[in-house]
Amino acid sequence: MKHLNLLFVYFIFNSLNSQELKLYEKEKFVYENDTLNYRILKPLNYNPNKQYPVHLFLHGSGERGNDNSSQLTHGGKLFLKKENREKYNSWVIFPQCSENDRWPSLSSDQWNNSFDNKISKPNKSLGLVIRLMDEFIEKTQVDKHRIYVSGLSMGGMGTFEILFRRPNMFAAATPICGNGIPQLAKLYSNKVPVWIFHGSDDNVVSPKYSLAMAKAIIEAGGSPRMTLYENTGHGSWNNAFAEKDFLKWIHSKTNNEY
């Protein structure tokens, strides 16, 4: 009987979580013959006569697919917390990378940071995200001075990449357990405040890559914030989301390029 009661509680708990995540509306962005699935959370008590910040979130490799749901696995609940919706009211966009694609042009999570001059255009999925964002931020209900991007693992790599492809778009970026191209940090180092997170024991994406990106940003004249969690593996996004000033720091930043 106790076992059945636990199963019932588990079922109710997951049903409630599923209902909450339904607040993220299912959408599709179509460009020519390509389609990007994404979920979007409207600002709390949405008023079409107001302008709101936009927070783009890029998921990891395990959430790729076409179900337009898995991308909410990590981070989706963070933006649904009552206090977060009230204090940091914004549009929240979770695109989903297709199964056989990657956000970054990097071919591997353990990329060796050797610069490839052949990187001239983004992968299809990130290219669609960029086109979506280019269009979305033109809405009259968007505060162009407060566009933010976060990403974890493969999405952390996508975060570093979208920064050099749209260095004037974002007011702040928070790449988590990611990787990037140090040689291109100069394109955004003086424009976008960056808070980098990584676990010191991460054996999926080595923390040396985040350290290399922080070093590159500093050498290019930027001033990144870096948090390295001791005794923490690849799931350092849980630590990052638990930071009391994670969203506070992000929403304190504004972009005067627009």
Please indicate, yes or no, if residue 2 is contained in any of the structural domains.
no
Query: Burial level of 73, CB count in 10 A (0-12/13-18/19+)?
Result: middle
Backbone phi, psi, residue 176, to 5°: -115, 130
pLDDT at 175 over 70: yes
pLDDT for 11-23, tens place per residue?
A: 333 444 666 899 9
Of 68, 42, 37, whose CA–CA distance to 53 is shortest?
42
- pLDDT of amino acid 15: 42
Which band of pLDDT confidence, cut at 50, 70 and 90, is reported for residue 110? low
Helices within the chain (DSSP H only): 2-21, 82-87, 124-136, 154-165, 207-219, 237-242, 246-251
pLDDT at 258 over 70: no
pLDDT for 163-172, tens place per residue?
A: 999 999 999 9
Of 220, 201, 209, 227, whose CA–CA distance to 154 is shortest?
209
CATH value at residue 144: 3.40.50.1820
Question: What is the span of the domain harbouring residue 68?
Answer: 24-106+117-251
Residues 128, 144, 242: CA angle, nearest 5 degrees: 80
Number of folded domains that form the chain: 1
Please indicate, yes or no, if residue 74 is contained in any of the structural domains.
yes
**Torsion sign (Cα): 25, 156, 62, 202:** negative
Please indicate, yes or no, if residue 207 is contained in any of the structural domains.
yes
pLDDT at 177 over 90: yes
- pLDDT of amino acid 106: 74
Backbone phi, psi, residue 170, to 5°: -100, 145
Task: Calculate the dihedral angle through the C-alpha atoms of 94, 211, 245, 62, rounding to the nearest 10 degrees.
Answer: 30
Please indicate, yes or no, if residue 200 is contained in any of the structural domains.
yes
Task: Indicate whether this model's pTM tops 0.85.
Answer: yes
CA atoms within 13 A on the CB side of 127: 13
Q: Among 5-9, 96-100, 101-105, where is mean pLDDT lowest?
A: 5-9
